Structure formats: structure tokens, C-alpha cells
Structure 1
Amino acid sequence: MQIDHRVERVNTIVIGGGQAGLSTGYHLQRRGVPFLILDACDRVGDVWRRRWDSLRLFTPARYAGLDGMRFPAPPHSFPTKDEMADFLETYARTFALPVRSGVRVERLSRQDTGFLVVAGAERFEAENVIVAMSHYQRPRIPPFAADLAPDIVQMHSAEYRGPSQLRPGGVLLVGAGNSGAEIALEVARSHETWLAGRDPGHVPFRIDGFLARWLLVRLVLRVLFHRILTVATPLGRAVRPKVLHVGGPLIRVKPKDLDAAGIQRAGRVVGVRNGLPLLADGRVLDVANVIWCTGFHPGFSWIDLPVFGPDGEPQHDRGVVRDQPGLFFVGLHFLYAFSSTMIHGVGRDAARIAAEVSRGRRIDSQPMARSRYSADAMGRARSSSATTRAGRADAPVRRPHAAPRWLSGSRGASARDRDAVPGEPADRTLSASDGSSLRRG
């Protein structure tokens, strides 16, 4: 069988069809830049549909819309993951964004004529490539997990859907970030539950309370996360390493919620003894299930370009890779602000990158890449009453260098003592569970 390796030429390729990719596409379209969005999922929004069944966003619906379209729900409600998935699909259809689904990019490299994107038998050549996804894609599970007894049900949080997947008996969740805490509350209703890992701190108010609804959520999401905690401020630069390497605070769950549910706290899981999880204090937990909420490995090994620093992170200036003209990132954790992976914050970064692409591209007559959605949807989009939020660069805000306690985790224990697994970073789920940031974990 002969494989067709013809190259499809597009001015700009956007890799990733989640909220970051769709928001980027929206802004490219407004600037008249020809582009094509490649997404590994079979359907727009599937990255959300695959999350656990009871997942809800951490941010209210009023902050869950994307540029050009409000989220169709009561403003103070917290959308489900399926509602978020359907919203993204509607967004792509409304603006006739050219999304090509079921295309998993395997290699990105540069050649004389531009960037080469390889996805199975498909080849794409582009002047610009925008990587619109989180750096962390591959589930992180410690090697000693293979030594657990074969009758123990174990899975990563990315595979968890609900308690029906578990055996009767105890459950150990390894990783006490947002995913671990929320899943622990769910499984504790039917199973004896242990939660292992450091205390990441928590937001000191109820996100669904009256005060939070009218004041604190607005201040935290729109001011603290979006304007103060940025790379342009001393406080933002101080907090950024903690966010990248430790993770964010608990958003919905509070420590007293875990205590009230009867969830037992455990220290680090350091290995396996006689087929059972071994804790740092020498205890062995006789459990029937283990859920690894230990975050994700970097997933950019397919980028065959010298763009990574010693820490493995892409080197960029607010998403612009200066050493590789035409290469951009959107959706990275703390790309510019704490809100960069959150739904309400990704639009600002996307608008800025679209402006960079528009300024740098050659003027040509290349047509817009074809969409899988009907072109007449553009008329509906233009007549929509949805409001458009323009992306703006924020002026630096002077603040003291000390980070809030709930962003820095609990006091007293060392980072090593608080880790769920030795040598493993904390669960990075402010962005995964939320999708208001999309970090899966």
C-alpha cells in the first residue's frame, strides 16, 4: 500500500483544539490570518468529556466564556465538564473555526521552506506554528507502582471516571492537590479513604459563598490572578516558580471538608512492601485501590527544535520564541500571568500572539484553511449578541514580594516532607481539574 505524503501548506498551524487553541483561532480569524487548528481528539471538547464524571469548573460561568461568546449558564453557577465541552464545540461551530479533529501531531521541525508538522501520514508546512496546549500531557506514575499486588486496582487521575471503577475496600489517593482532594471526597462516600501528599494550601473562602460570589472571586480571578500575579510584577515573579514546580492551592475543597468526610491523611508514599503501598513513616496501607493524582510529565518531546531550557520548559517571551521566528506558545502555565491557563485568562495571551503573527506574516492571497464546520455559521457569529473581550497587556502593578500563604502552601513542613512521592512534583491541578486552566491531573 502506497502512503500519500503530499504536503499541505497553511500560513499558520495551531496545534491543540482546547480553549487555548480555539481562542487563538478566534483572534487569528479576526486579523485575517489563514490558519488551521489540529486537534488529537475526535471531537472538539473531548479533552473535557474524558474527565471524571462529577467534575465541575472552579470558576463561575461568568468567567467561563471565551472572547466573543459568553458561557450560556447562570453567571454564578459552576458548569459541569460536559457543559464546558459542549460550549467549546459550539464556539468552534459558531465562528466556523477550521478545526481538523483526530490529527495527533508526532513531530514539529524546521526546514528551508518553513516549519514541517508531521501527523501520521499527513504533512503540513507553515510559516507560523502556535503550540496551544499545556506542557504537561503524559500521566506521571512512579516506577514502583509496578510492584503493587496485581489485585490492587490502580489508575491515574486521568483515567478515573467514578467510584464504580473501584474494588470494595480501601482507597489510597497519592497527591493532595485539587484532583486528589476532589476525588477523595467523592470516593470517601463509599470507601475508606487515605490521601497522601503535602498540604498545598487553600483559597481562604468558599468560592460558592455570597461574599465570594460578589466580591472575592472577582478580586481573585480578575485582579490577583490576572493583573497582579504576572511576570511584569515583583510578586508575580516571586510566585511563578512555586506555581510551576509546586502547583496551586486547593480551590473548592478545604481541609475541614476532608476531615468531615473521614478522609485519613498520610505522608509520602516511598515504595512498596509485600505488594502494598509503603509510607515514609514505615506504615504499610492495606488498600484495594490506588489512584495516582501525581500530575503529568512534560509532553513536548515531539517538538524537534532547540527551544527548551535546562529545566525542560519552553524558552519564550510571553509566548514568543525569539530564537525560532514564527514559533509561539499559548496555554502554558503562567505564560504571562497566573490566569494564563484559565479560561478567563487565555484570551489575552491568544490575542497578543495573534497580533504578533499578523505583524510578521507575508502579505499573500492564500485562502483560509477549510473548516469542518459550515461557513454560513460566520453570519450567526457576527449577529451574535455575545460580548467581545479584547486582549490587553496590563501595566505592571507594584506589590510586596511576599506571596499569600494560600499560594505558598502550609508552613512548618519542608517541601520534601510534603511531597506525595519522593522525587515527584505536586499535582498540578489548578489547571487540570478546572479547565479554567486546563491542567489535567
Structure 2
Amino acid sequence: MSTTEHIETVIVGGGQAGLATGYHLARGGRPFVILEVGERIGDCWRGRWDSLRLFSPARFDGLPGLPYPGDAWSFPTREEFADYLQAYAAWAELPVRTGVRVRRVSYDGSRYLVETEHERYVAENVVIAAGYDRLPKTPPYATELAPDIRQLHAIDYRNPDQLRDGPVLIVGAGNSGADIAMELSASRRVLLSGPHPGQIPWRIERRAARVLTPALFFLFRHVLTVRTPMGRKLRPKVLAHSAPLIRIKSADLKAAGVERVARTAGVRDGLPELVDGQRPDVANVLWCTGFKPDISWIDLPVFDEDGEPAQRRGVVEGQPGLYFVGRLFQYAVASSMIQGVGRDAEHVVRHLVARAAVRSASTEDAHIGAEGADQEAGFI
């Protein structure tokens, strides 16, 4: 480490969760820095597939203090939303340092140590907002596919030109799998493998949806939370399975010629094998199988065997000063959505600011006590 810097709070991650947290810290007048691995703010979105559009209308895509500009019922592209994040950071004058990869977060008994390639930060608080569910999850049998089958995880997919000519098996039938299946169906045979995750019962892009969609996002934000019986019952299912289809419908996939097939169970003789025994002869396999937590850089005893932090609304009670924002169903279904990170960030910052006030008062009391002792001893 070439330099060491002391700052009250380090936010790891400069995506929507980190920026929303920074906004509330700035409003509270607390010193902080945001460390972002991308070379530009918004690169976490620019790196996704070319045709991606957000699943939520623009009216639900703004961060605290700055609504998303333009048509409230449009669906921003990945580039448009990335540019919004960059503009948001500039508008809020947030201290974001880009191109910084955090190698390790640890605790020495009194302070947090945040280590990067060239610097070390000493902090009273650390907010993990890194979207660390970014390790692509593929089944172990993926390595058994024949070498002439082109396979990609959704995190590496950009456009159809990456694939070989011929059919593609998409493993994972959630929103990403359905979106990519629709795109690829224009140029090749597409087989979509996996159980149907369900779908919202209306067309979110139609004018009539403008009555129903706000109710859906209200449900995600206020009803399906860890505080309600319905939310607590749903949470394990959300963590284990894909969310319902939002934009694409089963009828759309059928009309496009996408073939629904059984769940992929393994590989036999180099070909993917489905649970019904079929072995589709495909030239490509695209894994839309989600992500698993990358917690290797967080050197703190706060995770269970599944990599879930022991947190309550983002506050790690057993590790004072450590916070999470942007986790899947951290508090509500909306917690990992753009519309939900602002509320969770505000809650975390309220806790952080209150903790800072207690620490400050304790320090002041200790200082006054020391002065009193010195007076009694005749030193002052």
C-alpha cells in the first residue's frame, strides 16, 4: 500500500445503491468516499447485453432527489440508464473514485480497513453496495459439454454475433432468459429450458398498464417486506428462484417460435440432457442461471453458509459500523430494484448518523472527564 487515508465512511460500489447511499450521507453532512471498480460510473450497466432495456418504467427509475428525465412511461436502455447514473453523481456532487477495486475489507477491533491495489482506507463505517452477486452461477456439469458447443453465461452475452450458427439452448427461463430468447429467435432455433417462473397478468408497456403498474410497484415496496406475513413467506422463494416475467409473456415466446423444454439436468455424451431424457443437439448453450455471492474480499464473520449477511434492514447488528444496501430482498422485494435502494439507503444512513453522534458524544465526555481529572491533579 502506497498511501493510507482516514475517512469516516467508505461505500464500496458506485452503482445505484452506492450513489443513493452517498446522496443521503451528503445530505446528513457526513464525510465519505465511494469506491467504484468501473472506469466510468454506470459501467455495471454498460457491460450488459446490447439490447437490454430496464423492466421498470422510467417513473420508477429515478434515485433520491433526481427523477429520471423524459417520458415517465418509457423503458430506458442500458446506455441511457448508465448515463443517468453518471449524471446523478455529478448533480449530487458525490465523491466517487472510479477504477478502484477493493481487495479486502477487515476490522482491527476498533476500525475498518479497506484495502485496494494502491491505497488503504481506515474508516469507522463501511457500506457494502457493490452488487456482489456477480459471480456467474453455472452447474458443475457445464465443463462436460462438447468443446464445439459454444457456451456463455448471460453476464458475458452481448449480442447474437457471439454465438455459432445453429440452435441455442437457453438454460434459465426468468426475465433475462426470456428477453434473450426473444432476441435470438429472429435468427435461429431457440430452446428455453427451465420451469416457468410465472408472469404479471398485464402488458406493462401498454397504456392501460399505467393504472396497474403503480399498484405492482407499491406491492413490491410496501407489502412484500420482511415485516409482513406475505413478504416473509415469499422471501425464500425470491432468493431461490427467478422473479415473474415482467415484459415478455409466454404467448410472446410461443409466437416467436421459442420452444419450451424441460429443465436441464446434466450432460451425456457431450450434449445437454434434460430431465425428460432428451438431449437436444445444439450449437450453443447460454446459461441464464443467475449469480452467487462473491464474499471472498469481505474478511468479516457476518455470513451464513449460504453467503447471506446477518443483517436487519441493511444494518449488521453484530458488527457495528457495517452496512449493506442493494441486497436481493434485503427488506422488501424492491430492495434490489432501482426504486427500492433509496429507501434502504436512507434507513442505513439514519442508523449510521445516529451511531456517529453517539461516538462523538462518548469522545466528548471522555475528553471532559480527562480535563476534570487533570484539573484535580493540578495539571491545568
TM-score by structure 1 length?
0.80
- Greater fraction helix: 2
Deviations 1:384-437 (A, max 9, x none): xxxxxxxxxxxxxxxxxxxxxxxxxxxxxxxxxxxxxxxxxxxxxxxxxxxxxx
Q: Which residue is 1:249 aligned to?
A: 244
Are residue 342 (structure 1) and residue 337 (structure 2) matched? Answer: yes
Does structure 2 retain, via aligned residues, the 8 Å contact 1:108–1:304? Answer: yes
**4+ long deviations beyond 3 Å:** none
2:298 counterpart letter in structure 1: I
Q: Which residue is 2:37 aligned to?
A: 40
Are residue 218 (structure 1) and residue 214 (structure 2) matched? Answer: yes
After superposing the two structures, state which structure 1 stretch, 14-23 or 341-350, moved more: 341-350
After superposing the two structures, state which structure 1 stretch, 81-90 or 147-156, moved more: 147-156
- The SS at the match of 1:51 is coil
CA distance in 2: counterparts of 1:135 and 1:337, whole angstroms: 18
Does structure 1 retain, via aligned residues, the 8 Å contact 2:295–2:307? Answer: no
| Residue identity (%) | 54
Query: Which structure carries more relative contact order (alpha carbon 8 Å, separation 6+)?
Result: 1
Q: Which residue is 2:277 aligned to?
A: 282
CA distance in 2: counterparts of 1:21 and 1:110, whole angstroms: 21
Does structure 2 retain, via aligned residues, the 8 Å contact 1:15–1:129? Answer: yes
Does structure 1 retain, via aligned residues, the 8 Å contact 2:8–2:125? Answer: yes
- The SS at the match of 2:202 is coil
Q: 1:180 aligns with which of 177, 182, 202?
A: 177
Structure 2 portions without partners, runs of 5+: 362-380
CA distance in 2: counterparts of 1:332 and 1:201, whole angstroms: 22
Are residue 108 (structure 1) and residue 102 (structure 2) matched? Answer: no
Q: 2:235 aligns with which of 224, 237, 240?
A: 240
2:278 counterpart letter in structure 1: R
* Superposition deviation, residue 310 in structure 1: 3.6
Are residue 231 (structure 1) and residue 212 (structure 2) matched? Answer: no
1:109 counterpart letter in structure 2: S
Does structure 1 retain, via aligned residues, the 8 Å contact 2:58–2:68? Answer: yes
CA distance in 2: counterparts of 1:296 and 1:155, whole angstroms: 14
Q: Which residue is 1:89 aligned to?
A: 86
* Superposition deviation, residue 133 in structure 1: 3.2
Does structure 2 retain, via aligned residues, the 8 Å contact 1:134–1:333? Answer: no
Structure 1 portions without partners, runs of 5+: 365-441
Q: 1:307 aligns with which of 292, 302, 309?
A: 302
Q: Which residue is 2:136 aligned to?
A: 139
* Superposition deviation, residue 121 in structure 1: 2.9
Are residue 316 (structure 1) and residue 336 (structure 2) matched? Answer: no
* Superposition deviation, residue 135 in structure 1: 4.4
Are residue 130 (structure 1) and residue 120 (structure 2) matched? Answer: no
CA distance in 2: counterparts of 1:121 and 1:6, whole angstroms: 7
Q: Which residue is 1:438 aligned to?
A: none
* Superposition deviation, residue 84 in structure 1: 0.2
CA distance in 2: counterparts of 1:133 and 1:232, whole angstroms: 25
Does structure 1 retain, via aligned residues, the 8 Å contact 2:173–2:192? Answer: yes
* Superposition deviation, residue 32 in structure 1: 0.5
1:217 counterpart letter in structure 2: T
Does structure 2 retain, via aligned residues, the 8 Å contact 1:172–1:291? Answer: yes
CA distance in 1: counterparts of 2:38 and 2:154, whole angstroms: 19
Does structure 1 retain, via aligned residues, the 8 Å contact 2:22–2:34? Answer: yes
* Superposition deviation, residue 311 in structure 1: 3.2
